[in-house]
Amino acid sequence: MIKIFLGLTISNLLILLAVFYLGYTSKLQNGTVADYHLLLGTGAGLMTTLSHLAVYMYHMATTRWLAAATDKKGFELDRFVAPALARKKRTLLVVMGTILFAMLTMVAGVGADPKPNPLWPGQVHLIMAIMCVVVNFVAACVEYRLIKAQGRLMDSALELVSD
């Protein structure tokens, strides 16, 4: 899972940085750069959702496997299932918070679009875009730690199950 996670996360962060660059340079030059910013921004929102939901799906699947293994072998629930469920809940908070922040950043961009009458200044979207990249990076670090911890729990359960 770590290889998949790193591939998705690095892709997500690179797309977010590319969108940020295009958005920043679209203020400096008028033209089609803003159109690319809008298209890639939509793709970045989808990529953010994909990369973070893949992490949550991993926790859902491994927690279910741990529950089945615990039931089959008669282990105590506190040994494997309780920590896995706690991690799954933490992951959900991180995932949903990050996705929500990315969507709010996109809405801020729509509200700051200068072609129609803007609802607020472009600096609102700029600040949110900077924060979105930072939030995604911090979320990736937290998700990495959660995946590693879940992997260690899975390894210890697999040792006992395979005996």
The pLDDT of residue 87: 97
Residue 35 scores a pLDDT above 70:
yes
Token couple for 17? 């940085």
- Residue 128: CB partners within 8 Å, gap ≥ 6? 101, 104, 105, 108
Domain extent listing, the chain: 2-162
Q: What angle do CA 72, 73, 78 make, to 5 degrees?
A: 100
Token couple for 136? 């995604």
Residue 129 CB coordination number (10 Å): 22
Span 155-163, average pLDDT: 88
Q: 107-156: per-residue pLDDT in tens?
A: 999 998 877 888 989 899 999 999 999 999 999 999 999 999 999 999 99
| Claim: this prediction has a pTM higher than 0.95 | no
Q: How far is CA 56 from CA 63, 105, 143, in A?
A: 11, 22, 9
**Chain-wide mean pLDDT for the chain?**
93
Token couple for 51? 């990369």
Residue 15 scores a pLDDT above 90:
yes
- Secondary structure of residue 23 in the 3-state scheme: helix
Span 30-44, average pLDDT: 86
Name the residue type at position 55. V
pLDDT grade, residue 31 (50/70/90)?
A: low
**116 vs 39, which has greater pLDDT?**
39
The pLDDT of residue 89: 97
Q: What angle do CA 21, 141, 82 make, to 5 degrees?
A: 145
For the ranges 29-33, 93-97, 100-104, 140-144, the lowest mean pLDDT is seen at 29-33
